[in-house]
Structure 1
Amino acid sequence: MIDLSRIDTWLFDMDNTLYPASVNLFSHIDERMGAFIAEELGVDRGEARRIQKAFFHEHGTTLRGLMDEHDVTPQRFLDYVHDIDMSALTEDARVTAGIAALPGRKFVFTNGDVAYADKVLSRLGLGAHFEAVHDIHAMDYRPKPEPGAYRGMCKRHDIDPERSLFVEDMARNLAPAKALGMRTVWIDNGSESAAYCADMNCVDLVIDDLGDWLARVTKDMT
């Protein structure tokens, strides 16, 4: 367990963090990304997937790669890939109660956009529990794990990183948070590329179930 006595701000990634990777929601987004690239670049689906994954690894997100290399308009891409069936998302009472019980400020820090995040949070019963969603638009399309995304979030929301904790399913996205002085929690729950470029020196705690961890944390605080 890590020392949480000074934490007054709680930051959460969204996809595969606030809900389990086993829901497999991102597979639908992944499929839509491939379809977008195939149509946009005039390639077959196999080549589209290769491009998609290369952009993710080289640019942080597929969107950033499409912007940098093909001048794709962000909102057109985001609207297309987030047009998915969310019926698999259901509220987890443990997560809802746990986040509600955390003392201090709470934010979602996501490479998605607010419009999509609002839909997901509503399905999860979490819409009322976060002060704000810091999204890809607020990052000026420079996504996690670019250090500027973290600094910009802290500046915009007046967050002291040394009094903050960040929970994220992709370990590489914790390194810039740790460099700023945040406590870091890696939820290693089987999401794609979760351990890609992981630096375990930047991870303070590894968990595999958010609801269980929140229950322990909030119990210890009472």
Structure 2
Amino acid sequence: MTIAPKRTASLPQIDEQSVLIFDLDNTLYPAACNLFAQVSDLIGQYVRDALSLEPDAAYRVQKDYFHRYGTTLRGLMTEHDIDPADYLAKVHDIDVSVVDPAPDLAGALDDLPGRKLIFTNASRGHAERVMDRLGIANRFDTIFDIVDADYIPKPERQPYDRLLARDGIDPVRAVYFEDMAKNLLPAKDMGMTTVWVHTDVEWAQAGRDDPRIDHQTDDLVGFLRGLSSRP
């Protein structure tokens, strides 16, 4: 069921100077396919192996680091000096076939002018595999991943600053789509238009009522088509 759109700001006019920035997981594909559950399970396995913990203790560490540091990876790097490349390779070794190809999304992206970027707390390799599966890889100009962010995750301010500087983005011309509501807040503070891609995932709800969220939708394709149909 499509939720009523929340609008606290006017919809932007999308033109050749616009930049559309998209989170990846649970944003460009439906959370219902449960792809990220595979990643979560592999993170748990990594914590168990790296710290020699029993499953219950590893799970507590995994969630504690996620909430305190933004990602389990950041917690493991900070407190245990683990190799981030090894971590990212292992926790993203997943089966992406549970994600359905998305020709409607590809078409909606085609109909919108301007640059299109991926901004993710995951790895570039993971993003590329998911985008290939969706059939949208060639719709995007570039990817900004957790390595580009120096392993500092959203919603810390630094990765947003790095993204804008690296790709020469004027935040006033940017629209940012994200399933984790709190990750939209720094983007709005910088001048972007923000769109919360609503899911029922519990940990994505924090910040959902913040007035810095301009729009919300649980139908990304429909929202994009609405942008492209504006006069």
Following the alignment from structure 2 to structure 1, what is the Cα–Cα distance between the partners of residues 80 and 206? 25
On the 8 A contact 2:171/2:191 being kept in 1, the answer is yes
Who is 1:16 aligned against?
26
Structure of greater relative contact order (alpha carbons < 8 Å, 6+ residues apart): 2
Who is 1:91 aligned against?
101
Following the alignment from structure 1 to structure 2, what is the Cα–Cα distance between the partners of residues 72 and 26? 22
Query: Displacement, 1:197?
Result: 4.2
On the 8 A contact 1:189/1:209 being kept in 2, the answer is no
* Residue aligned with 2:44, SS: helix
Who is 1:139 aligned against?
149
On the 8 A contact 1:14/1:110 being kept in 2, the answer is yes
Letter in 2 for 1:176: P
- What do the CA deviations read for 1:132-168 (whole angstroms, capped 9, x no partner)? 0000010011111010110110000000011101000
Match of 1:35 among 22, 45, 57: 45
- What do the CA deviations read for 1:70-117 (whole angstroms, capped 9, x no partner)? 101101000000001111112222211111211100000000111111
Q: Give 1:207-218 correspondences, 5 Å limit.
A: 207-218=217-228
Following the alignment from structure 1 to structure 2, what is the Cα–Cα distance between the partners of residues 117 and 174? 19
Q: TM-score, normalised by structure 2?
A: 0.92
Letter in 2 for 1:160: D
Structure 1 unmatched ranges of 5 or more: none
Query: Displacement, 1:3?
Result: 2.5
* Residue aligned with 2:137, SS: coil
Report the count of equivalent residues.
221
* Residue aligned with 1:166, SS: strand
Who is 2:63 aligned against?
53
Q: TM-score, normalised by structure 1?
A: 0.96
On the 8 A contact 2:77/2:84 being kept in 1, the answer is yes
Q: Give identity over the alignment, percent.
A: 40
